[in-house]
């Protein structure tokens, strides 16, 4: 397993388990199986309505709390300073744990700055080990970081954003990299909305490397330094997903490739208005890049 490191030296697995559609008893079973398969990062949120299920699975897994990295997120009902504090306590109650590993503001709400003050305090109080944001991009992200600086507040440690082979978020990643903020992708398989699993280029690369197209799709993001939280209920795919992050030195050649895919399109169109045109020129996955990738994996 490959890890990313926060600025304080703590690290987290680059491949985690997305839980947005995990519910009830069957959901708990899915989570137990995923932990058994080797996942050590669970990505939940108040919005998913499943923090309680995640907490139950954690306790039933037999793993110690420290062995599993738990992320949760505060959404609109908790948009405000006092509300965010209440949201943290609510999430901890649902999860049945004293702390989470990472607490995010789910979306750039108008009250995000007030929420951020509460998150900083929650971290100081030991209720979360790390704090960050989600879906903060473009101009909004830049303004938020400038505000943190001006207020003398800590900056986010991680930004969870939509990213996949068709939308690698070069501009936002550039900002995050310059600031030493970790980047984590949601929808790394495009929520199944685009043809990741039978994309001809991903399939071709996979066949030459003895990998699935899904592994190639994740490998590409990981190679760019983007952590991923794919969702998958197909248990037989889990081990393969987890091994997407097994690095060897030749793969490092990928890192030099600027934008393997340039058919850059967001699934949901977040913040397109504030991104430059460079972010969504269209030309598809290039064979030059494919060749460079085929060194060996």
Ligand X SMILES: NC(=O)c1ccc[n+]([C@@H]2O[C@H](COP(=O)([O-])OP(=O)(O)OC[C@H]3O[C@@H](n4cnc5c(N)ncnc54)[C@H](OP(=O)(O)O)[C@@H]3O)[C@@H](O)[C@H]2O)c1
Question: Which residue number, 168 or 190, has a Cβ lying nearer to ligand X?
Answer: 190
Q: Which stretch binds ligand X (CB under 6 A): 87-95, 145-153, 180-188, 243-251?
A: 180-188
Subset of residues 187 to 226 that bind ligand X, contact rule: CB under 6 A: 187-192, 197, 214
d(CA 183, CA 158): 6
Taking CB under 6 A as the rule, does residue 1 contact ligand X? no
How near is the Cβ of 160 to ligand X at its closest, in Å? 5
Q: Which residue is nearest to ligand X (CB)?
A: 18
Residues 91 and 67: their CA atoms lie apart, in Å, by 19
* Nearer to ligand X among residue 37 and residue 232 (C-beta): 232
- What CA–CA distance (Å, rounded) separates 223 from 281? 22
Kindly tell me which of 131 and 229 has the beta carbon lying closer to ligand X. Answer: 229
153 lies in the binding site for ligand X (CB under 6 A) = no
CA atoms of 16 and 170, how far apart (whole Å): 22
Q: How far apart are CA 56 and CA 8, in angstroms?
A: 30
> How near is the Cβ of 189 to ligand X at its closest, in Å?
3
8 Å CB contact between 216 and 205: yes
Give, as ranges, the residues between 224 and 263 that touch ligand X (CB under 6 A). 229-234, 237
User: CB of 146 within 8 A of CB of 169?
Assistant: no
Which residues within the stretch 83-112 sit at the binding site for ligand X (CB under 6 A)? 106
Closest CA to 27 of 54, 63, 64: 54
Answer yes or no: are the C-beta atoms of 183 and 158 closer than 8 Å: yes
Active-site residue, from 3, 39, 48, 166: 48
Q: Considering the complex, state which of residue 140 and residue 253 has its C-beta at the smaller distance from ligand X.
A: 140
Q: In whole angstroms, how close is the CB of 191 to ligand X at the nearest point?
A: 4
Q: Binding ligand X by CB under 6 A: which of 50, 128, 135, 261? A: 135
Decide: is 19 part of the binding site for ligand X (CB under 6 A). Answer: yes
Respond yes or no: is residue 48 known to be catalytic.
yes
- What burial class does residue 200 get, using C-beta atoms within 10 Å of its C-beta: 0-12 exposed, 13-18 middle, 19+ buried? exposed
Q: Is 186 helix (H, G, I), strand (E, B) or coil?
A: strand
Distance (Å, whole) CA 291 – CA 60: 46
Specify the residue for token string 């030309």: 283
Site residues, ligand X (CB under 6 A): 18-20, 43, 106, 134-135, 160, 186-192, 197, 214, 229-234, 237
Catalytic residues, which ones? 48
């Amino acid at each position: 397993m490959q890890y990313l490191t926060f600025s304080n030296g703590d690290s987290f697995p680059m491949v985690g388990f997305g839980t947005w559609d995990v519910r009830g008893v069957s959901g708990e079973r899915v989570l137990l199986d995923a932990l058994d398969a080797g996942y050590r990062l669970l990505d939940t949120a108040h919005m998913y309505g499943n923090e309680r299920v995640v907490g139950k699975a954690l306790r039933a897994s037999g793993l110690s709390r420290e062995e599993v990295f738990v992320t949760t997120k505060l959404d609109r009902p908790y948009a405000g300073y006092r509300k965010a504090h209440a949201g943290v306590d609510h999430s901890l109650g649902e999860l049945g744990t004293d702390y989470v590993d990472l607490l995010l503001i789910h979306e750039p709400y108008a009250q995000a700055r007030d929420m951020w003050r509460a998150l900083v305090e929650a971290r100081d109080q030991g209720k979360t080990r790390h704090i960050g944001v989600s879906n903060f991009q473009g101009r909004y992200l830049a303004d938020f970081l400038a505000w943190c600086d001006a207020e003398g507040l800590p900056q986010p440690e991680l930004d969870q954003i939509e990213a996949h082979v068709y939308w690698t978020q070069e501009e936002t990643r550039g900002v995050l990299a310059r600031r030493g903020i970790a980047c984590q992708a949601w929808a790394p398989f495009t929520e199944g909305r685009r043809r990741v699993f039978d994309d001809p280029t991903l399939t071709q690369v996979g066949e030459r490397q003895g990998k699935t197209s899904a592994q190639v799709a994740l490998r590409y993001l990981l190679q760019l330094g983007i952590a991923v939280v794919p969702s998958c209920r197909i248990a037989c795919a889990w081990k393969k997903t987890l091994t997407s992050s097994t690095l060897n030195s030749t793969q490092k050649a990928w890192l030099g490739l600027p934008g393997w895919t340039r058919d850059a399109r967001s699934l949901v169109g977040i913040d397109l208005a504030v991104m430059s045109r460079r972010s969504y020129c269209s030309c598809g996955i290039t064979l030059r890049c494919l060749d460079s990738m085929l060194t060996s994996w």
